[in-house]
Each structure stands twice: as structure tokens, then as C-alpha cells.
Amino acid sequence: MSTPTPNVRKAAILLASLPQEQAAAVLSKLKPKQIEAVSIEIARLDHVGGDEMESIIYEFADANPNSYTGYGGGLELAKSLVQQALGKDARDTLDNVQQTIEALPFGFLKKVDPTNLVTFINDEHPQTIALILSHLAPSYGAQVIAQLAPDRQLSVIQRVASMGETSPEVIRQVEQGLEFRMATVTNQAYEHAGGVATVAEILNVTDRTTERNLLENLSQEDPELVENIRRLMFVFEDVNKLNDKDIQAVLKNVESSQWAMALKGASEELKSKILGNMSQRASQMLLEEIEYLGAVRLSEVESVQQQIVDIIRHLEDAGQITTHAEEENEELIE
């Protein structure tokens, strides 16, 4: 695999950071061979760190890219730029770019989930795993390393660090062997089914007694799983489904500062529901507190929203409110 010159990589990163129309306009000014070289490098890009991108943009345009935190390249972006830059004359360049990328050692793994790869290479010699990882994008390799046992991680990383030149024939043999073994994975489309979200959806429509019994029994074996299920069963926007009586019970247990932060990321409908269950003076004060907060991080908003969800769950467990709509309409017996 040939190593691109520093200038070609810089040009690729710069073009990948621009809107596609602008990048294509710049690309169209280059010679065909230059377009091909830069496009191949764009296709090779996996993820570019913010520091590297900032340095390159400063160098080329003397600008401060405050909005950039990193960018991914990829074959599709490269093909799109070539198509826009060359129009009807793009076919030969597109073919060369695609053939070059697909010819890279272990290129077929771009379509394979790292977890699936680990399943196939976990029992391989550390040197073989190191060889494979040396030809993968760093972000992909990191996901593979994370799933290996600690002692294997150390052995593999040591071998990656000390790896020098490797015979193309050895690389080809390892690649062909792995591709043959993984043929069913690379050629088969998988459909996601089941999972924690599915369990949460099922329990959301079961009666309260069945739900409680299932979760209590499951918590004895896997309390962490139960916690994950319950977090998905009731999300912050579901507060809007509570009746006014239950909303008022929740209001008594949640601080005004928590509502101010949580409602920054809420729908107008939910805001109206909460404010409508407050006194005019309290709602006005809350609106002022929300405005006073100004811009806040999404992660902070979501954290406080989850705190309120946890309070609601505790109130429901205590029998003070219900999040089950079918129980709200259940017939009462004198």
C-alpha cells in the first residue's frame, strides 16, 4: 500500500472539511491525476481529529474553524466529489478510485462490524491480529482492541508497535483466509431484532402487575438490565402523558431549578403542560429562570431530565402516581 505525500493528505482533509459543492469546485480545477490522487486519499480518510483539521485549515486558509470537531471521509464522499467535479467525464477516475480502495489489504472489513471481526480473530495468534489491525483505520482497530481480553490486548499492541515491513504474500494469505472464513458475514444482510428497547416496548403495554412481577424477578438475576429496561420504558417527554393530578404530585418532588434545565430541551406541548399546573406566579418565575440559563449543554439537559424521570419512577413505585394510561381509565368499583 503506497503512502500518500503529506500535501495530498492535507488537500484531502481540507476538501473533506468543505461543503461538497465548494469542494467539487476546487477539485475541478486540478489535473485528472491530481483529482484521482486526492480522491483516493479522501476515500481512505476515516476520522480526522479537530486539532489536525484546524492546523491544516489555518495553513491553507488562515481561518479558525471553531465549528469543526472532526470529520470523516470515506469512499462515498470521494465518489460524490469526483462526480460533481468531472461530470460526465468522471467514470474512469471513479473506477480507479474504487479499485484502489477496494484493493487495500483487508478492505472488505470496512463492511464488517468490529464485534463480528473479534469473533473470528479472537483465537488467532497475537501477531496475526496485529497484522490485521495494522491495516485498519485507527477508530476501527480501537473497537477491536477494546473487545479483546486484557492480556491479549497487551500482546497485540506490543506486536503492532514493533511491526516492520511484512511480505505482501503473507498479508495476502492472511487476508484471503480471513475473507473466506467471514464470507457468510460479509455477504449476508443482518436485521436487528429484540434487545432492551423491545422489552421496554412490550412492558409498556402490559398491565402493571405483570410488569412489576417480571422486573422484580429479573432484578434478582440482573439488576443492571432491569435499570436499563426501566429507563427506556418512560422517557422525559412521556411526562406529557401524565394526568394533571400526577403532574402536580411530581411538581412537589422536583426543584424549580431542575424544571428550568429540563424544559430547555422539551417540546412546547410539555412546557405548557408543566406551566399549566403551576400558579401564575410560579410559572412566570420558572419562565424567567429558563431564560436566565441561556445556552446550555445538551448533555446537562438530558442528565436533569433523567433525574426527573427517576423521581417519577420512584413515585410510581410508591403508588403515588401511575404512568400507565390504561390504569387511568380503569373502571372504579365502590
Note whether residue 1 is domain-resident: no
Determine the 3-state secondary structure of 134 from DSSP: coil
Question: Could you list the pLDDT tens digit for every one of the 334 residues in the chain?
Answer: 455 566 777 777 777 766 667 667 777 777 777 777 777 777 766 555 656 655 665 555 444 333 333 444 555 555 565 566 556 565 666 555 555 555 567 777 777 788 888 888 888 899 999 888 887 777 788 888 899 888 888 989 988 888 877 787 888 888 888 888 877 655 554 555 567 777 877 876 677 677 778 888 888 888 888 888 877 777 788 888 899 999 999 999 999 999 999 998 788 899 999 999 999 999 999 999 998 888 888 888 888 988 898 898 888 878 888 765 444 444 444 5
- The answer on 195 and 174 residing in a single domain is no
Long-range contacts of 7-11, Cβ-Cβ distance < 8 Å, separation of 24 or more = 8/37, 8/38, 8/41, 9/41, 10/56, 10/59, 10/60, 11/38, 11/41
- The answer on 311 and 323 residing in a single domain is yes
Any idea which residue has 423491545 for its cell?
A: 198
- The answer on 293 and 222 residing in a single domain is no
Determine the 3-state secondary structure of 162 from DSSP: helix
Note whether residue 319 is domain-resident: yes
Note whether residue 80 is domain-resident: yes
- Give the CATH number for residue 249: 1.10.220.30
Note whether residue 67 is domain-resident: yes
Q: Tell the burial category of 151 from Cβ atoms under 10 Å away from its Cβ (0-12, 13-18, 19+).
A: exposed
- The answer on 253 and 221 residing in a single domain is no
- Give the CATH number for residue 216: 1.20.5.2020
- The answer on 84 and 19 residing in a single domain is yes
Q: For residues 320 and 313, what is the distance between their CA atoms, to the nearest angstrom?
A: 10
- The answer on 334 and 244 residing in a single domain is yes
Q: Which set of grid coordinates corresponds to residue 149?
A: 481480553
Question: Which of 153, 187, 221 is at the close of a domain?
Answer: 187
**Cα separations in angstroms, 215 against 42, 228, 315, 317:** 49, 11, 17, 12
Q: How many domains does the chain have?
A: 4
Torsion (CA) 181, 186, 188, 193 in degrees, nearest 10: 100
Domain range for residue 261?
235-334
- The answer on 44 and 22 residing in a single domain is yes
- The answer on 182 and 202 residing in a single domain is no
- The answer on 209 and 303 residing in a single domain is no
Question: Which of 233, 255, 287 is at the close of a domain?
Answer: 233
pLDDT at 87: 63
Contact 196, 224 (CB under 8 A): no
CA angle at residue 183 from 177 to 189, to 5 degrees?
A: 155
Q: Which of 308, 313, 307, 317 is nearest to 230 (CA)?
A: 313
- The answer on 329 and 242 residing in a single domain is yes
Note whether residue 257 is domain-resident: yes
- The answer on 219 and 162 residing in a single domain is no
- The answer on 263 and 208 residing in a single domain is no
Question: Which of 79, 102, 125 is at the close of a domain?
Answer: 102
The pTM score is 0.40
